[in-house]
């Protein structure tokens, strides 16, 4: 029996606003418990919510980046359920008429690019946090996170494997960070993911019941849990076992899922339009304003790097790993006049040093202009590529311009024939064996002579010029 | 302390007291002292208040007196004491909503209206009794005690703002704030013989008003006459960045609009509210009032609101649905009552807490509201009600194109006996049959005294206007009051209750 | 539409209201009476009629993304039925959500 997995992902992303969704409390992470709270976010009697304009704009910006339709009329709704971390015992969210609908995310798969449809993107508020006190003990409730703006991005069940889920999440993370709307940190919970999984028999009627998986705190956990569920469902389908619609919890330590609650126990959220809030009407003017401050998306930039700058697909993907990286690249490439060379530097030595020193790109002392200057110094033969590596390291450390480093350390290349000739003559005189071999047809023997010259000049000789002079002198 | 005689001061409307304060004939400290004494004297028989705040009131009075001494130009009602319904937050003061679940709660901030009342220099003397969470029409649903009607202490004052209405009727205080979701200002105003205005939805900020039906609730004044209602509305109304449902519409000088001239005003009597369901005595009084308005130069015709018959189901679906969600926050977690019983987890704690903390009527409305929103019923109940609401709104729009204002009885009856309707919730709902339809439409409604029953109980006339046109109903009400004296009559209790 | 006593019990559970048998009976009776009134709405033709969720419609009423000082924690905790110096305390939370 052939089977096919249908996986949908529901992603919650905390928006990078200064203040909360419906009150002016700060959103930053890590403050002492209940110090970022006020009457509104602790649901004191009589308070009313007032929506954060920036949060609305961030969702629209995300919607545009995900190729969504932006709703001209959108409403907030109350999702009613009781839980201690939810002080109003309803969450202000969106139900019918979300801000954005019908978009897609492009992911790379083994069989080429694939479109994963995005059903909706909507705006809601986060809950507080229960600090569990252990078995039988009281729970402590901290409302600092309560009311932080949250964006929910729901995909269609277009994902077919755990690998595709990872690719989708990585792409989404890239886009959210690129757009500056979310820091995309799964471990800290600023980006959370809940997959729904079932398996069908594409050639028949067979299918398993849909499950939702919770408690996933990393990309790895998502991958493992989805794999586990696909296998469980496939076994059930091929074995003819019955499955039930339920919510399951991922147990990281045991590497398996377990039942959390069945559909019968599912909540009846009693959604209704939030009477305390007015509808949102995103018009052309607002969309234009948002577009004006939205950077070109990673897919478009990547395409441009290939078509306009002649990068390979691979290089273009690496150069668009973040908005900062691509911006740095583009600026350096424009000044250097050699995009390929800049791309090489950025994915080799530069990436390695950033990684080794744990330096974020924004804090690196190397600027696009200096990297461009280095590329030019190599191109015009002032220094060799090999010397360039040393210059780059020095530049990474000190932040000095490459020309200054070359000058300070006397590193400029010797290309002047009159300066090199005596050294070459000496090398020929001191290595009769190599000369013999060369003359007998073993052209490789020239390497030893070049090496001798490079050694004598402490690497400053221009190897191309040395090669040329040596051949001239030996061949005559 | 020469209390005797001075009490007659409190029988004067606030705008007259303001003139006396202005001319220095009386101080705010003196007025506030009188009000506090009168409250103390009458409370045993009225029970209009849940909390009295003498120290805060005295401090505020002294502050406004010394500001006046420094010739700072005070607002028109500066120095006049006021009472606040106990569902509005006054920072540091109990805010119980007449519920056991909030018995221990102290508000942590000022409602916008309270902020404005304080800024206007009006001493707050206390918080008034009400039906629990504003759900009721008699103030018998207070978890603490019922309030008695000053005209007959065996009768209810109406509700849910029964404490505010009784306090003003008994001249314990010249002004009070109430809230009105389905008639909770106008109906008690009618039962107690005072003036009550429910402004247009969005005219007054709801920030700090403990929500009952969010799309219906409005705060408004209870006063002895229309001029006071105009002045007090001006103090509390206007845009508020903390309430997105509060309109960004300028508030006109309402008192200046009270010209006494209603010549040519087109008045429609709502026919559906003049049928057998309404007491004959009440209908008679409305008929006479209409004649009086005609005598003043208005033209009176017949108006119709065809869908009014559906307003009871529409109201009792929408208000409880919103309430079921609004009252979810009372769970014993962050404030208020929490069960003493050992709970097996948070769900059990919530259920026991809420069961102990809420009274029967609140539970009934939470239950019907929860049902109306629950899976499978939303379309047939909640959504359907909101659509019929549109039809009702259109009825009013059409009627208010033909007429400048509409009139009707405020309530189908005069105040009934305490205990008379408590066992029949739906009969009790009928007490608001003339008023909740105005909340559903979101337009302003005013109740003015227009006569007395044979048993000596006050009757109220409701005047309904176009959205944001409180000025016209207040002008008509004031012109009517200039020509009549029902609103000047004071219940006997004020004389006999040991005030000398 | 009629409603069973079990339906009423389910609604009570949704509303987090613990009820005794007598209370459930009484509530069941009330539902019977009020549902009769609600049923009358079915007769109203609302084809093509938009609901009135807000009596007054404004759009895009928002606030700028600006921080306002939070409230003193002790003032909020003072109202709590159970709290320590930092947090509100809940009885043991059953894992559910």
- Asked if residue B160 has a cis previous peptide bond (ω within 30° of 0), the answer is yes
Q: Residue C63's closest chain A neighbor by CA?
A: A52
Catalytic pick among B28, B137, B138, B160? B160
Residue C91: the pLDDT is: 83
**Strand order in A272-273's β-sheet?**
A90-93, A77-80, A272-273
Would residue B184 show up in a list of annotated catalytic residues for this protein? yes
Q: With respect to residue C72, please indicate whether it lies within any of the assigned structural domains.
A: no
Other C-beta atoms closer than 10 Å to the C-beta of B145 total: 12
pLDDT, tens digit (0-9, with 9 covering 90-100), for A95-118: 999 999 999 999 999 899 999 999
List the chains bordering chain B where 3 or more Cβ pairs fall under 8 Å. Answer: A, C
**pLDDT averaged over chain A?**
93
Domains of chain A, residue spans: 4-284, 296-408, 417-475
Contact list, C62 vs chain B (CB under 8 Å): 244
* Confidence label for B6 from pLDDT (cuts 50, 70 and 90): low
Domains identified in chain C, total number: 1
Name the percent of chain A lying above pLDDT 90.
74
| A51/C76 CB distance under 8 A | no
Q: Residue A266's closest chain B neighbor by CA?
A: B375
Residue A264: the pLDDT is: 64
| Location of structure tokens 């070049």 | A450
Distance, in Å, from the CA atom of A38 to the CA atom of C70, rounded to the nearest integer, reads 5
A340-359 residues labelled b (16+ CB within 10 A) or e (exposed): ebbbebbbebbeebbeeeee
| B313/C37 CB distance under 8 A | yes
Nearest by CB to residue C52, choosing from B332, B393, B426, is B393
**CA distances to A73, B167, B175 from B78, in Å:** 45, 20, 12
Contact list, B328 vs chain A (CB under 8 Å): 80, 82, 88-90
Interface test with B, best of C12, C52, C60 (most B CBs within 10 A): C52
Cα dihedral sign, B227-B228-B229-B232: positive
A&B contacts, CB < 8 Å:
99
Residue B346: the pLDDT is: 86
* Confidence label for A473 from pLDDT (cuts 50, 70 and 90): confident
Residue B407: the pLDDT is: 98
Structure tokens at A186: 């799964």
Give all domains of chain B, ordered by start, each with its CATH number.
6-263+444-496 (3.90.1300.10)
Q: Please report the ipTM that was assigned to this predicted complex.
A: 0.96
* Confidence label for B342 from pLDDT (cuts 50, 70 and 90): confident
Q: With respect to residue C26, please indicate whether it lies within any of the assigned structural domains.
A: yes
**CA distances to A369, B88, B124 from A413, in Å:** 22, 83, 89
Q: Residue by residue, what is the 3-state secondary structure of chain B? A: CCCCCHHHHHHCCHHHHHHHHHHCCCCHHHHHHHHHHHHHHHHHHHCCEEEECHHHHHHHHHHHHHHHHCCCCCCCCCCCCEEEECCECCCCCECCCCCHHHCCCECCCCCHHHHHHHHCCCCEEEEECCCHHHCCCCCCCCCCCCCCECCECCECCCCCCHHHHHHHHCCCCCEEEEEECCCCCHHHHHHHCCEEEECCCCCECCCCECCCCCCCCEEEEEECCHHHHHHHHHHHECCCCCCCCCCCCCCCCCHHHCCCCCCCCEEEEEHHHCCCCCCHHHHHHHHHHHHHHHHCCCEEEEECCHHHHHHHHHHHHHHHHHHHHHHHHCCCCCCCCCCCCCCCCHHHHHHHHHHHHCCHHHHHHHHHHHHHHCCCCCHHHHHHHHHHHHHHHHHHHHHHHHCCEEEEECCCCCCCECCCCCCCHHHHHHHHCCCHHHHHHCCCEEEEEEEECCCCCEEEEEEECCCCCHHHHHHHHHHHHHHCCHHHCCCCHHHHCCCC
Catalytic pick among B85, B118, B127, B155? B85
pLDDT above 70 (res B177): yes
For residues B123-141, average pLDDT: 98
**CA distances to A356, B254, B265, B293, B296 from B479, in Å:** 86, 14, 12, 8, 8
Distance of alpha carbon A153 from the chain centroid? 16
Strand partners, A105: A116
**pLDDT averaged over chain B?**
95
Would residue B342 show up in a list of annotated catalytic residues for this protein? no
Nearest by CB to residue C18, choosing from B216, B351, B377, is B351
Look up the domain containing C26 and give its range.
Answer: 5-42
Cα dihedral sign, C19-C23-C29-C31: negative
Structure tokens at A426: 């000496």
Contact list, C87 vs chain B (CB under 8 Å): none
Name the percent of chain B lying above pLDDT 70.
98
pLDDT, tens digit (0-9, with 9 covering 90-100), for B423-477: 999 999 999 999 999 999 999 999 999 999 999 999 999 999 999 999 999 999 9
CATH number at residue C14: 1.10.20
Shortest CA distance to C29 belongs to which of C51, C52, C3? C3
Nearest by CB to residue B310, choosing from C44, C53, C54, is C44
* Confidence label for A445 from pLDDT (cuts 50, 70 and 90): confident
Nearest by CB to residue C53, choosing from A24, A137, A275, is A275
For residues B246-258, average pLDDT: 96
Q: With respect to residue C82, please indicate whether it lies within any of the assigned structural domains.
A: no
Contact list, C71 vs chain A (CB under 8 Å): 37-39
B215-251 residues labelled b (16+ CB within 10 A) or e (exposed): bbbbbbbbbbbbbbbbbbbbbbbbebebbbbbbeeeb
| B334/A90 CB distance under 8 A | no
pLDDT above 90 (res B28): yes
* Confidence label for A448 from pLDDT (cuts 50, 70 and 90): confident
Q: With respect to residue C93, please indicate whether it lies within any of the assigned structural domains.
A: no
Residue C94: the pLDDT is: 64
CATH topology of domain A417-475: Arc Repressor Mutant, subunit A (1.10.10)
Shortest CA distance to B380 belongs to which of B391, B372, B388? B372
| C88/A141 CB distance under 8 A | yes
Residue A265: the pLDDT is: 66
Residue B471: the pLDDT is: 98
pLDDT, tens digit (0-9, with 9 covering 90-100), for A34-89: 999 999 999 999 999 999 999 999 999 999 999 999 999 999 999 999 999 999 99
Residue A145: the pLDDT is: 97
pLDDT, tens digit (0-9, with 9 covering 90-100), for B297-318: 999 999 999 999 999 999 999 9
Q: With respect to residue C63, please indicate whether it lies within any of the assigned structural domains.
A: no
Nearest by CB to residue C89, choosing from A75, A138, A261, is A138
Residue B406: the pLDDT is: 98
For residues B184-196, average pLDDT: 98
pLDDT above 70 (res B372): yes
For residues B111-116, average pLDDT: 98
Q: With respect to residue C59, please indicate whether it lies within any of the assigned structural domains.
A: no
| B245/A268 CB distance under 8 A | no
Interface membership of C63 toward A (CB under 8 Å) = yes
pLDDT above 80 (res B176): yes
**pLDDT averaged over chain C?**
92
Residues in chain C, how many? Answer: 97
Catalytic pick among B28, B184, B205, B311? B184
| B245/A141 CB distance under 8 A | no
Residue B344: the pLDDT is: 80
Contact list, B351 vs chain C (CB under 8 Å): 13, 16-18
pLDDT above 50 (res B500): no
Distance, in Å, from the CA atom of B467 to the CA atom of B130, rounded to the nearest integer, reads 27
CB distance B57 to B82 below 8 Å: no
pLDDT, tens digit (0-9, with 9 covering 90-100), for A371-412: 999 999 999 888 888 889 999 999 999 999 998 998 888 777
Residue A136: the pLDDT is: 67
| A270/B325 CB distance under 8 A | yes
The minimum CA-CA distance between B168 and chain C, rounded to whole Å, is: 30
Interface membership of C54 toward B (CB under 8 Å) = yes
Low-confidence stretches of chain C (pLDDT beneath 50): 97
H helix and E strand count, chain A: 16, 14
For residues B55-80, average pLDDT: 92
Alpha helices in A85-241 (DSSP H): 162-178, 219-239
Residue B5: the pLDDT is: 45
| C93/A84 CB distance under 8 A | yes
CB distance B137 to B412 below 8 Å: no
Contact list, B333 vs chain A (CB under 8 Å): 84, 87, 141
Would residue B408 show up in a list of annotated catalytic residues for this protein? no
Structure tokens at A22: 């419906």
Q: With respect to residue C62, please indicate whether it lies within any of the assigned structural domains.
A: no
Residue B496: the pLDDT is: 55
Q: With respect to residue C15, please indicate whether it lies within any of the assigned structural domains.
A: yes
The minimum CA-CA distance between A43 and chain B, rounded to whole Å, is: 7
pLDDT above 80 (res B222): yes
The minimum CA-CA distance between C21 and chain A, rounded to whole Å, is: 23
The minimum CA-CA distance between A215 and chain B, rounded to whole Å, is: 21
Interface membership of A141 toward B (CB under 8 Å) = yes
Residue A429: the pLDDT is: 87
B&C contacts, CB < 8 Å:
171
Nearest by CB to residue A275, choosing from B214, B331, B346, is B214
């Amino acid at each position: 029996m052939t089977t096919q997995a249908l996986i949908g992902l529901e992603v919650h992303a905390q928006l990078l606003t200064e203040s909360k969704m419906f009150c002016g409390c700060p959103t930053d992470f890590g403050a002492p418990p209940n110090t970022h709270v006020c009457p509104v976010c602790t649901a004191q009697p009589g308070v009313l919510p007032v929506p954060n304009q920036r949060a609305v704009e961030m969702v629209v910006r995300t919607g545009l980046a995900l190729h969504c339709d932006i709703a001209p009329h959108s409403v907030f709704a109350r999702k009613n359920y009781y839980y201690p971390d939810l002080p109003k015992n309803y969450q202000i969210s969106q139900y019918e008429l979300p801000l954005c609908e019908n978009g897609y995310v492009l992911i790379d798969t083994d069989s080429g690019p694939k479109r994963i449809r995005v059903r909706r993107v909507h705006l809601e508020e986060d809950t507080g946090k229960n600090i569990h006190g252990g078995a039988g003990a009281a729970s402590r409730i901290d409302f600092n996170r309560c009311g932080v703006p949250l964006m929910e991005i729901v995909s269609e069940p277009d994902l077919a494997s755990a690998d595709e889920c990872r690719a989708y999440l990585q792409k989404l993370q890239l886009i959210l960070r690129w757009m500056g709307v979310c820091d995309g940190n799964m471990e800290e919970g600023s980006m959370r993911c809940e997959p729904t999984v079932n398996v069908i028999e594409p050639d028949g009627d067979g299918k398993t019941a849909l499950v939702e998986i919770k408690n996933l705190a990393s990309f790895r956990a998502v991958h493992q849990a989805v794999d586990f569920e696909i296998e469980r469902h496939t076994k059930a389908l091929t074995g003819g076992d019955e499955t039930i619609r339920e919510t399951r919890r991922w147990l990281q330590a045991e590497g398996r899922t377990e039942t959390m609650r069945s559909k019968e126990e599912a909540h009846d959220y009693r959604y209704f339009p939030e009477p305390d809030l007015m509808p949102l009407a995103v018009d052309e003017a607002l969309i234009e304003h948002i577009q004006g401050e939205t950077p070109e998306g990673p897919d478009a930039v990547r395409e441009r790097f290939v078509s306009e700058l002649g990068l390979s697909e691979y290089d273009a993907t690496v150069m668009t790993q973040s908005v900062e990286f691509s911006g740095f690249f583009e600026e350096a490439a424009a000044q250097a006049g050699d995009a390929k060379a800049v791309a090489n530097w950025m994915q080799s030595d530069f990436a390695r040093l950033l990684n080794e020193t744990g330096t974020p790109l924004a804090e690196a002392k190397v600027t696009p202009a200096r990297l461009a200057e280095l590329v030019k110094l190599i191109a015009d033969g002032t220094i060799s590529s090999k010397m360039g590596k040393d210059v780059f390291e020095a530049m990474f450390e000190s932040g000095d311009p490459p020309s200054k480093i070359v000058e300070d350390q006397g590193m400029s290349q010797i290309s002047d024939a009159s300066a090199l000739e005596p050294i070459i003559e000496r090398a020929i005189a001191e290595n009769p064996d190599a000369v013999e071999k060369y003359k007998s047809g073993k052209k490789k023997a020239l390497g030893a002579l070049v090496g001798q010259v490079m050694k004598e000049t402490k690497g400053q000789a221009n190897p191309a010029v040395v090669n040329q002079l040596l051949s001239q002198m030996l061949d005559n | 302390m020469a209390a005797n005689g001075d009490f007659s001061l409190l029988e004067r409307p606030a705008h007259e007291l303001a003139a006396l304060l202005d001319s220095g004939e009386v101080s705010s400290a003196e007025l506030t002292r009188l009000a506090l004494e009168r409250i103390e004297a009458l409370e045993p028989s009225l029970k209009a208040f849940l909390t009295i705040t003498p120290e805060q009131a005295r401090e505020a009075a002294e502050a406004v007196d010394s500001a006046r001494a420094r010739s700072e130009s005070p607002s028109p009602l500066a120095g006049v004491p006021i009472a606040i319904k106990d569902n509005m937050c006054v920072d540091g003061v109990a805010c119980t909503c007449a519920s056991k679940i909030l018995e221990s709660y102290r508000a942590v901030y000022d409602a916008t209206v309270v902020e404005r009342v304080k800024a206007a220099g009006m001493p707050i003397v206390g918080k008034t009794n009400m039906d629990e969470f504003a759900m009721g029409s008699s103030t018998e649903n207070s978890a603490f005690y019922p309030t008695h009607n000053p005209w007959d202490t065996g009768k209810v004052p109406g509700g849910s703002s029964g404490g505010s209405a009784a306090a003003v009727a008994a001249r314990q205080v010249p002004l009070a704030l109430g809230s009105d979701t389905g008639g909770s200002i106008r109906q008690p105003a009618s039962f107690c013989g005072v003036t009550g205005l429910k402004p247009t939805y969005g005219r007054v900020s709801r920030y700090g008003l403990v929500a009952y039906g969010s799309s219906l609730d409005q705060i408004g004044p209870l006063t002895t006459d229309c001029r006071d209602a105009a002045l007090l509305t001006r103090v509390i109304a206007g845009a508020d960045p903390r309430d997105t449902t509060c309109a960004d519409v300028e508030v006109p000088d309402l008192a200046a609009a009270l010209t006494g001239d209603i010549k040519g005003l087109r008045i429609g009597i709502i026919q559906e509210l003049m049928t057998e369901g309404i007491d004959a005595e009440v209908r008679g009084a409305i008929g006479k009032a209409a004649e009086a308005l005609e005598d003043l130069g208005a033209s009176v015709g017949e108006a119709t609101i065809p869908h009014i018959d559906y307003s009871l189901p529409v109201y009792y679906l929408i208000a409880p649905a919103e309430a079921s969600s609004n009252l979810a926050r009372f769970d014993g977690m962050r404030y208020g009552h929490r069960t003493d019983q050992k709970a097996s987890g948070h769900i059990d704690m919530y259920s026991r807490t809420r069961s102990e903390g809420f009274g029967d009527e609140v539970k009934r409305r939470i239950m019907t509201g929860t049902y109306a929103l629950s899976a499978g019923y939303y379309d047939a109940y909640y959504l359907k009600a909101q659509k019929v609401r549109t039809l009702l709104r259109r009825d009013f729009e059409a009627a208010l194109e033909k007429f400048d204002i509409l009139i009707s009885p405020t309530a189908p009856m005069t105040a009934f006996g305490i205990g008379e309707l408590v066992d029949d919730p739906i009969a009790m709902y009928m007490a608001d049959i003339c008023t909740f339809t105005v909340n559903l439409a979101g337009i302003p409604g005013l109740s003015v005294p227009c006569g007395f029953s044979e048993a000596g109980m006050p009757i109220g006339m409701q005047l309904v206007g176009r959205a944001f046109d409180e000025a016209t109903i207040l002008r008509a009400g004031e012109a009517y009051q200039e020509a009549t004296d029902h609103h000047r009559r004071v219940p006997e209790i004020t004389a006999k209750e040991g005030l000398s | 539409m009629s409603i069973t006593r079990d339906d009423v019990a389910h609604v009570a559970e949704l509303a987090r209201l613990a009820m005794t048998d007598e209370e459930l009976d009484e509530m069941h009776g009330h539902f019977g009476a009020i549902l009769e009134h609600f049923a009358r709405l079915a007769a109203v033709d609302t084809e093509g009629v938009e609901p009135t969720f807000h009596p007054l419609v404004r759009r895009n009423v928002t606030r700028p993304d600006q921080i306002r000082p939070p409230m003193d924690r002790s003032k909020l905790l003072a109202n709590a039925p159970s709290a320590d110096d930092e947090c509100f305390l809940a009885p043991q939370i059953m894992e559910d959500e």
